[in-house]
Structure 1
Amino acid sequence: MKKAILFFSLFTITSSLVAQSNNPPGLSLIRSEDLKKDLYRFASAHFKGRSAGTIDELNASAWLVEQFRAIGLKPAGDNGTYLQFFSLVRKQLANNSTIEINGTPLQLWKDVAVSQLANTNLKAPIVYLGNAADIDTNTVDVKDKVIAIEASTKGINLNVSLPTWRYNRYIFARYGMPLLKRGAKAILFIADEQAEAAWADATENFKRGIYDLHEEANPNASARSAQSATATAPVIWLHAEAKQKLQNNTASINMNLIVSEYLYPSANVVGMVEGTDPKLKSEYVLYSGHTDAHGIRNVIKGDSIYYGADDNGSVDVAMLANARAFAKYPSKRSVLFVIHGAEERGLFGSRYYSGHPTVPVGKIVAVLNGDMIGRNNTDSAAILGVNPPHRNSSDLVSMALAANKEGPNFKLDTTWDNINHVEGWYFRSDHLPYARLGIPAIMYTSLLHPDYHTPQDNVESINYPKLKKMADWMYRTGWKVANKEMRPATDKDFKLER
């Protein structure tokens, strides 16, 4: 009987060891209490929302540097430091700009908002064309005219995140751009009901101006959108009540718009755990997140600090946890931890690092990017870069899916790779510049939520058990990639749709 009991006990212990054999050695170092402690510091009011190109983002970057140092990561930025600085060009409407209609001065941002910048000194009649939905923008004669049209939701899909942030862009793309191409001297959009509801959020974006990488730092930098290109004609928004003054085609405008241009600093935070294999340590698995959130903006539910706890503090603290695991138990390949600056302004940190890597770019074998991993159902998640045309490495995807099965076993939503998905999220996070270079890249996320880009994206709203599982998944995947003899191959037929 005792032998049978001993045999059963040995069998149970052996089975348990076998069941744990797929667990990477540092898994126990990824702890919910550490994730919570780090996030309560990083996404606190102290850093004032970490807006890109401000001292608040740089202060947050300095805090991340100290965490990298405490963990024992090797500095892998520029000049033997953890930092890689780059400059943003910021163009912003100067406060002494003026707009008058029929001789009446309009107060900037309250009565009138400027959505596309252009140095302009203009006095001209206003030509009212009516409702945008009734205008054939391909035939109407607008050359050298100041045009006024009413905004319209017709044909615009607003079943999307942040509709109040995006509506003005959708209107401009659908109606404004064709008119500018036909030679309009300026466009005045008259707000409809949707635009009135969006006014507060939209003007906060307009006030900040437009950004791009400093061209001396990145001569191949391209503008993100038509609005970030060098503009020759201004685009202006007026409240709905302005229609009464404009619809009889007797109104005139007198405007003097002055665009200020200056450089703003931002930084990537870069640390490394050196690999143990004499050959493979010259290759790198790159973990990716971003520092910035949206700073201090208009008040929502009594708060004006856009903390960015989920976006993207959740990923940054998960990267710290992963770094502790790799620092204690190094892998065969080296592991890079890159927390990019200025993602919210246009993926500028990842665009800069991918163009100016501190390691040979051909030696980066995979990019594991995270964007918002701390909310929603504990048992579900999503991964982007899994399905064509966004999948650029079947090998990397297989390892990520296997890591999920061996660990958190999330029910995965893979529909976000669909080219018709309204969010187009694949093109809005830091894996993209690397994927465009052909580097195997995927993105982990727990998906969007109503607090996205609001002050309510705070530490109290994070699902910490979910965050722990997501951090585990990222670590499990990275451990596989960092120890596999062959690096993940890039799919030969990989080609993004845009």
Structure 2
Amino acid sequence: MTKRLPALLLAGLLLTATATSAQKARPAPASSARNAESAIKEADLKRDLFALAGDKYRGREGGTLDELRASSWLAEQMRAIGMQPAGDDGTFFQWFNLRRTRLTPASTLRIGGRALRPGHEAVVVAPVNAQLRAKLVFVGTGTPAEVAKAKIKGKAVAVQLSGEPTDGISYRRYLFGKLREQAAELARAGAVAVVFVSDDKAQAIYEHWSHIFERGRYGLPADESLKIVGDQVPVLWLPMSEAEALSKSGQELVADLRAETFLYPSVNIVARQPGTDAQLKSQHVLFSTHQDHDGVRAPVAGDSIYNGADDNATGCAALLAVMRAFKQQPAKRSALFVYHGAEERGLLGSRYFSNKPTVPRESIVAVLNAEMMGRNAPDSAALLGSTPPHLNSSDLVKTALTANQAGPRFKLDTEWDKATHPEGWYFRSDHLPYARLGIPAVMFTSLLHADYHTPNDEPATIDYSKLRRMTQWLYLTGWAVANRPAPPAREPGFRLER
């Protein structure tokens, strides 16, 4: 079943985006050594961020009308600033589909004669087609001795979640790794289904994430991971309240799990400010961010809208400010501005655009990605892509470091960019697909905080003075790259660790 964009909304979006395409573009003023940093104003950043991250757009979830309405608003801001449309067919938009795979509402599950609603009273970790009836055995915490004693081949195996991370990663990442890795071990040992049950610590994660698993998995249509298969061992996750019932002997698990797939529209928003140099204007400095967030989810303290002010309305407002500066004073090279859709679904918009750019890929000389730039200590920030093995252009990094010293002088964290950092932050934003293609790429960020991916990430929590200085740093770096004689050199032998 394919979800289609309603015709009236599509027409409205396209009319908005093409309103100036028929107008004759004004000739750009000649570039000079003087930049337009003063065009970046805190008041503009605050106004734009409150507009985008307010409740009106309901958290801008990727693949929903809320994301598309927010994207239309951003395109209108681009038009008002005077940017050229650089999407498809003379518009600001590049449309693409994302694929969602989920369990159907008709799926059923019974354990010991008790019916549990998949996705509500029992999480199915990955959508799968499975019809099975099997004896259920409880193996405690799943130690090798417990598993060997139970003789699990051909049986459904129930496991009590337990343990703590020992390598510095967050408990959430530890838990999801455990779900994946322990289930795979039990499947290799012959289990036909794996049923995890929360302990008190895992229960807090279950309560927050169960509705997310209910939504299923997302990707681009060609992604192999989204193919529905019938030979995969189903992995279930139950709340702590089911622990006692699961530990009883002589029970049977009966499951009829059926998966379905949908296509939803998402969109990249693309604008261009032409350069002034006859030779260099065919090259592009790409400023990157994403407009989507988590939408409307289970309420926390009565608030169900995940506004995504820092993640990533800060990046969105920053790019609008950088556009104003480049419009006031264009550079020698052209500036390309890309808002990537469905980043929270797995970098889908940037994966799509990097493979199907609306300008020649070889013309993109650098990618400067803006991701979460308005929180934490006023003088702290980070430049991801500046530390091996993530460093793919020493030249670009030196330019960014010089811009930092010339402008805001942030104290730069280097721990988060290391391959050993437990959060793997480098791999979780839109510069990554470009870096994988060998394009010089860095990410400007003020890093994670306690309100990350919660309804508390509200416009009122942003440090707007810091956001202005982060935006100035982003701009000064891009301005320097756009005016230098040669593009940033690429690091020979660049290879990511995963």
Task: Give the TM-score of the pair, scaled to structure 2.
Answer: 0.89
- Which whole-Å CA distance do the structure 2 matches of 1:479 and 1:229 have between them? 47
**Given the alignment, which residue of 174, 180, 184 partners 1:177?**
184
**Given the alignment, which residue of 88, 93, 97 partners 1:83?**
93
Aligned pairs for 1:405-420 (under 5 A) are 405-420=405-420
Please name the residue that 1:150 is paired with.
160
Deviations 1:45-80 (A, max 9, x none): 000000111111111111111111111111111111
Report the Cα offset of residue 325 of structure 1: 0.7
CA contact (8 A) 1:148 1:187 kept: yes
1:64 aligned to 2:74?
A: yes
The 3-state SS of whatever aligns with 1:275 is coil
Aligned pairs for 1:21-420 (under 5 A) are 24-133=34-143, 142-155=152-165, 159-160=169-170, 163-164=171-172, 166=173, 168-215=175-222, 221=223, 223=225, 230=229, 232-420=232-420
Closer, same or farther in 2 for the Cα pair 1:59/1:138, shift >3 Å?
farther
- Which whole-Å CA distance do the structure 1 matches of 2:333 and 2:163 have between them? 52
- Which whole-Å CA distance do the structure 2 matches of 1:474 and 1:353 have between them? 21
CA contact (8 A) 2:129 2:229 kept: no
- Which whole-Å CA distance do the structure 2 matches of 1:131 and 1:38 have between them? 50
Closer, same or farther in 2 for the Cα pair 1:445/1:319, shift >3 Å?
same
Deviations 1:154-208 (A, max 9, x none): 4555752xx45x4542222331122234443211001112221212212021111
CA contact (8 A) 1:133 1:154 kept: no
| Identity fraction in percent | 47
- Which whole-Å CA distance do the structure 2 matches of 1:133 and 1:156 have between them? 17
Please name the residue that 1:430 is paired with.
430
Structure 2: gaps of 5 or more residues:
1-31
- Which whole-Å CA distance do the structure 2 matches of 1:270 and 1:151 have between them? 45
Closer, same or farther in 2 for the Cα pair 1:138/1:483, shift >3 Å?
farther
The 3-state SS of whatever aligns with 1:444 is strand
- Which whole-Å CA distance do the structure 1 matches of 2:402 and 2:83 have between them? 28
- Which whole-Å CA distance do the structure 2 matches of 1:108 and 1:249 have between them? 22
CA contact (8 A) 2:169 2:423 kept: no
Report the Cα offset of residue 144 of structure 1: 3.4
CA contact (8 A) 1:167 1:195 kept: no
CA contact (8 A) 1:30 1:321 kept: yes
Please name the residue that 2:29 is paired with.
none
Letter in 2 for 1:28: S
Please name the residue that 1:19 is paired with.
none
- Which whole-Å CA distance do the structure 1 matches of 2:33 and 2:147 have between them? 60
Structure 1: gaps of 5 or more residues:
1-21, 216-220
Closer, same or farther in 2 for the Cα pair 1:338/1:416, shift >3 Å?
same
Letter in 2 for 1:364: I
Deviations 1:264-292 (A, max 9, x none): 11110000001111111111100000011
Report the Cα offset of residue 435 of structure 1: 0.2
Q: Which moved further from structure 2: 80-89 or 244-253?
A: 244-253
The 3-state SS of whatever aligns with 1:57 is helix
Deviations 1:10-47 (A, max 9, x none): xxxxxxxxxxxx98521111000000000110001000
Report the Cα offset of residue 103 of structure 1: 1.5
Closer, same or farther in 2 for the Cα pair 1:414/1:137, shift >3 Å?
farther
Report the Cα offset of residue 139 of structure 1: 11
Closer, same or farther in 2 for the Cα pair 1:24/1:463, shift >3 Å?
farther
Q: Which moved further from structure 2: 41-50 or 128-137?
A: 128-137
Q: Which moved further from structure 2: 90-99 or 420-429?
A: 90-99
Closer, same or farther in 2 for the Cα pair 1:135/1:59, shift >3 Å?
farther
Task: Give the TM-score of the pair, scaled to structure 1.
Answer: 0.89
- Which whole-Å CA distance do the structure 1 matches of 2:402 and 2:33 have between them? 12
- Which whole-Å CA distance do the structure 2 matches of 1:180 and 1:38 have between them? 50
- Which whole-Å CA distance do the structure 2 matches of 1:288 and 1:487 have between them? 18
CA contact (8 A) 2:139 2:146 kept: no
Report the Cα offset of residue 229 of structure 1: 8.0
The 3-state SS of whatever aligns with 1:172 is helix
- Which whole-Å CA distance do the structure 1 matches of 2:59 and 2:480 have between them? 34
- Which whole-Å CA distance do the structure 2 matches of 1:139 and 1:91 have between them? 37
Report the Cα offset of residue 125 of structure 1: 1.1
- Which whole-Å CA distance do the structure 1 matches of 2:439 and 2:177 have between them? 32
CA contact (8 A) 1:24 1:479 kept: no
